[in-house]
Every structure is written in C-alpha cells, then in structure tokens.
C-alpha cells in the first residue's frame, strides 16, 4: 500500500527505500520527472514525461499500481493518486495542489478534440486549456474531469461524477454532469478520538 510507505518500520524501509530510489532514478533517467522526498511510485505505474511535458511529484506523494500519467503534470505535497488513474496534461497541463486524495480509476484529460462535421474526427484540431485542482480536494472513484476545469480548495467530488465546469471551494459535487449537492462547511466537525 503506497500510503503506508513513509510510515514503514525501519526494518521494512531497509529494502523499500533502496527499491524506490532505484525505480525513481530509472524513471528520471528516461523521462523529465522530478520526485520530492519520500515519494512512492508503484512498479506498474506508467509515467511519460518527454521534454516539455514534465512530471513533478511533491514530497510524500504517491502513485498507485496501473496509473498512467502523461505530462505536463505538477503534483503537490502529500497527494495520493490511487490505482488505475489516467491523467493526460495535453499542452496546458494538470496542476494538483497539496494534500489531495484521488481515488481509483479517476480520469483527467487536459485536452479536447474538435468534432465539427466539416472534417473527419481524426483530422480535427486539438485544444488544451489545462486542469487545476487546488489543495485539500477529495476526488471519488471513477470521476472524470474535463479540460478547462478548476476544482476549488477543500472541494469533494462524488464517485462516478463527470466534472465539466468549475467547482467552488468547499462545495460537494456529484452526478453526470456533476452539480452541487452540498458544502463541507455544513458538515459537523470531525474530532478523532
């Protein structure tokens, strides 16, 4: 479990840390990828970051098994990207703020194809506005986020949603297309105990 990596006992870190250092060094040698301290990348994750389409992972962030990331992508500190996610930064990029949680099978595409009737789909122009996910955002399993979307800080996106427009800070959105269903500030405070 990648989120356990920085919390491993010293005995487990004896083998886990060198394994991650070798894996990350191999990726950084092949692609334009920068890793912060104590990052974890699953061996089956696929990271593609040719020149001009860099990928950057902040300290203590992790990328789960089967994830596919194609830059440009900038990932903040302590971000969890779970298994089988697929992100493509197009030409304008994906930026993810600190402390975000992104569940399994989330799709983020920062580009779009034209589809006018005047030409074949394969001949249509491609546009890219970029995607911004601010800090402390929780994105549920199976969410799709379209190009040009900004998700405000502290927002929550419900499982299976398709996000086609900006989500304000603290709001809870769900559905296809996603729409506002609540606000985190209306929820009772959580006190672990």
Tally of CB atoms within 10 A around 14: 10
Q: Is residue 192 part of a domain?
A: no
pLDDT of the residue at 52: 86
Q: Classify residue 130: in a domain, yes or no.
A: yes
Q: Does residue 94 sit within a domain? A: yes
What is the C-alpha to C-alpha distance for residues 193 and 121, in angstroms, rounded to an integer?
A: 56
Render each residue's pLDDT in the chain as its tens digit; 193 residues: 554 555 666 677 677 788 888 999 998 888 899 999 989 999 999 999 988 899 999 999 999 999 999 999 999 999 999 999 999 999 999 999 999 999 999 999 999 999 899 999 889 999 999 999 999 999 999 999 999 999 999 999 999 999 999 999 999 999 999 999 999 999 877 665 5
Looking at residue 193, what is its pLDDT?
55
Active site residues: 113
Q: What is the CATH number of the domain that holds 146?
A: 2.160.10.10
Bridge partner list, 154 = none
Domain that holds residue 57: 2-182
**191 found inside a domain:** no
Q: What is residue 190's predicted lDDT score, i.e. its pLDDT?
A: 62
| Euclidean distance between CA atoms 111 and 17, whole angstroms | 36
Per-residue tokens: 171: 């709001």
- Residue at 189 is within a domain: no
pLDDT at 68: 98
Q: Is 57 a member of any domain?
A: yes
Hey, what long-range contacts does 174-183 have (CB within 8 A, 24 or more apart)? none
pLDDT of residue 143: 98
DSSP-derived secondary structure for 2-52: GGGGGG--HHHHHHHHHHHHHHHHHHHHHSSEEE-TT-EE-TT-EEE--TT
Does residue 72 lie within any of the structural domains? yes
Count of helix runs (H) and strand runs (E) in the chain: 1, 22
Residue-level pLDDT at 19: 86
- What pTM does this model have? 0.91
Query: Are 79 and 58 spatial neighbours (Cβ–Cβ below 8 Å)?
Result: yes
> So what's the pLDDT on residue 172?
97
Look at residue 122 and tell me if it is in a domain. yes
Query: How far apart are alpha carbons 51 and 45 in whole angstroms?
Result: 19
pLDDT given at position 192: 56
pLDDT value at position 180?
Answer: 98
Q: How many domains does the chain have?
A: 1
């Amino acid at each position: 479990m990648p989120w356990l990596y920085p919390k491993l006992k010293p005995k487990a870190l004896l083998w886990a840390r060198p394994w991650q250092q070798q894996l990350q060094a191999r990726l950084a040698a092949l692609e334009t990828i920068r890793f912060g301290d104590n990052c974890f990348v699953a061996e089956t994750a696929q990271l593609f970051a040719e020149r001009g389409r860099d990928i950057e992972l902040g300290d203590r962030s992790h990328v789960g098994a089967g994830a596919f990331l194609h830059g440009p992508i900038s990932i903040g500190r302590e971000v969890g990207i779970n298994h089988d996610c697929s992100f493509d930064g197009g030409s304008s990029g994906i930026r993810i703020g600190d402390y975000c949680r992104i569940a399994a099978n989330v799709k983020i595409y920062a580009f779009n194809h034209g589809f006018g009737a005047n030409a074949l789909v394969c001949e249509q122009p491609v546009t890219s506005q970029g995607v911004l996910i601010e800090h402390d955002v929780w994105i549920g399993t199976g969410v799709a986020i379209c190009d040009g979307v900004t998700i405000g800080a502290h927002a929550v996106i419900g499982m299976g949603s398709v996000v086609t427009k900006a989500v304000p800070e603290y709001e809870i959105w769900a559905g296809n297309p996603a729409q506002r269903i609540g606000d985190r500030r209306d929820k009772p405070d959580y006190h672990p105990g």
